[in-house]
């Protein structure tokens, strides 16, 4: 089980209303997408607020905020029983495992883009809406793995905007 707990920055793309999660800069200075930094959040709210200030200077981002993030990623089959009782879930696809890139999937939201024929939608495209039940996340993860041929895990997902 991989436990992730920390602070992230949320930002909406001014062009098409995608919502992104940013954490600690690993491959670059300051901040970086959680999808490319190995899912590493900021360890303190002070770090997150400093990144928020930098992000607010960008013209391509709007509504930049800070949130508390908690995830438990079931990396082994026996980890699943520990997260089944949580309230919300996402599927985590290892898009380019060697580079540490992942893709987060949540539920489909009316009027928002999907990734048909895969079940669900990218979390960035569905306004950060996770699956509401474990079985939906389990089905999405198994279909993503089957159709995209990428290892996919299930994670509990808690995000509280400040």
- pLDDT tens profile 70-81: 999 999 989 999
> DSSP 3-state assignment of 82?
helix
Cite the beta strand spans of the chain per DSSP E: 2-13, 19-24, 31-33, 61-74, 89-96, 101-106, 121-122, 152-161
Rounded to a whole number of angstroms, the CA Rg of the chain reads: 15
Query: Which 8-state DSSP code applies to residue 131?
Result: B
Per-residue pLDDT at 13: 87
pLDDT at 46: 97
- What span, in angstroms and rounded, lies between the C-alpha atoms of 162 and 1? 27
Q: What is the pLDDT of residue 100?
A: 66
Query: Which residues, including other chains, have CB under 8 Å from residue 157's CB and lie 6 or more apart?
Result: 70, 71, 88, 89, 90, 106, 130
Residue 32, token pair as written in the block: 């970086």
pLDDT of residue 97: 64
Residues of the chain with pLDDT under 70: 16, 96-100
pLDDT at 118: 86
Q: Write out the two tokens for 156.
A: 């509990």
Whole-structure pTM value: 0.91
């Amino acid at each position: 089980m991989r436990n992730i707990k920390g602070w992230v920055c949320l930002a909406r793309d001014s062009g098409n209303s995608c919502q992104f999660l940013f954490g600690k800069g690993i491959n670059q200075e300051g901040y970086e997408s959680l999808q490319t930094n190995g899912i590493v959040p900021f360890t303190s709210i002070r770090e997150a607020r400093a990144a928020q200030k930098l992000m607010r200077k960008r013209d391509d981002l709007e509504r930049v905020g800070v949130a508390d993030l908690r995830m438990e990623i079931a990396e082994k089959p026996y980890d699943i029983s520990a997260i089944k009782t949580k309230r919300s879930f996402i599927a985590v696809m290892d898009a380019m495992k060697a580079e540490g890139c992942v893709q987060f999937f949540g539920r489909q939201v009316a009027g928002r883009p999907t990734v048909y024929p895969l079940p669900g939608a990218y979390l960035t495209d569905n306004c950060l809406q996770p699956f509401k039940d474990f079985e939906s996340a389990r089905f999405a993860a198994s279909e993503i793995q089957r159709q995209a041929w990428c290892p996919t895990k299930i994670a509990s997902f808690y995000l509280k905007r400040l």
